Amino acid sequence: MIEMNAVGKSFPFGASPLQVLSGIDLTVASGEFLAVMGPSGSGKSTLMNLIGCMDRPSEGQYRLAGQETARLTEKELCRLRNAMVGFVFQSFHLLPRLTAWRNVETPLFYAGVAPEERRRRAKELLERVGLGHRLHHRPTELSGGERQRVGIARALANDPALILADEPTGNLDQQTGQEILELFAALRREGKTIVMVTHDPDVAKWADRVVRIKDGKLCATA
């Protein structure tokens, strides 16, 4: 699913570029649950942006589902991202004026799915994450755990093969976090590939494998 070879990422910074990632070699198999751990500023978010095709490497090669991302136009990269990747964020990133139903519908709208099918799919996904009774509630009317469940339902809207989760339990209490991790485990059993950033070793234990990053380099795996 994910193949990175000698990937690096730098950004313009004064007279010389700032190197954020360097020499990243990473392979993630289809259906694998991978946790990425590392201190603040280690390059975790930059790595996730590259994996999710939100940015391109400055050097090296990155293949997602066999496609060399460097060779794709911006439109092709966007199409690949929308078809292959679902994002789950620590801060949920829900649209505050929209109901849970409408939030989950949003990716389907941009994918050109017909209104009736959008409504059916959004309702089905919210029922799956246990929110069939909260379809018409806005984010401010939902608990943190419920908002994260809406975020997961939205990430699944286009049936992506890869789910990227950035500290998905970071703003949740322990019991709610456990429920979210159980949902990820169920998705992994269904064949979804999951890459999750976390600072919590107990959360990382849910993954099949842990990759540790420090100063922009992979330093150990478990």
> What are the domain boundaries of the chain?
2-221
Beta-strand runs (E) in the chain: 2-11, 18-28, 33-37, 59-64, 67-68, 85-89, 162-166, 193-197, 209-214, 217-221
pLDDT, residue 222, reads 53
Cα-based distances in Å from 19 to 8, 57, 62, 100, 212: 8, 11, 17, 39, 18
Lowest-confidence pick of 14-18, 74-78, 136-140, 188-192: 14-18
Please state whether beta strands 18-28 and 217-221 pair in parallel, antiparallel, or not at all (unpaired): unpaired
Mean local confidence (pLDDT), 141-163: 92
pLDDT, residue 83, reads 87
Please state whether beta strands 209-214 and 217-221 pair in parallel, antiparallel, or not at all (unpaired): antiparallel
Q: What is the pLDDT of residues 167-215, one digit of tens each?
A: 888 888 888 889 889 989 999 999 999 999 998 899 999 999 999 999 8
Q: What is the pLDDT of residues 37-60, one digit of tens each?
A: 988 888 898 999 999 998 899 999
Q: What is the pLDDT of residues 110-140, one digit of tens each?
A: 888 999 999 999 999 999 888 999 999 999 9
CA 2, CA 194: separation in Å to the nearest integer?
A: 11
CATH number of 2-221: 3.40.50.300
Q: Which of 93, 71, 91 is nearest to 80 (CA)?
A: 71
CA 72, CA 86: separation in Å to the nearest integer?
A: 19
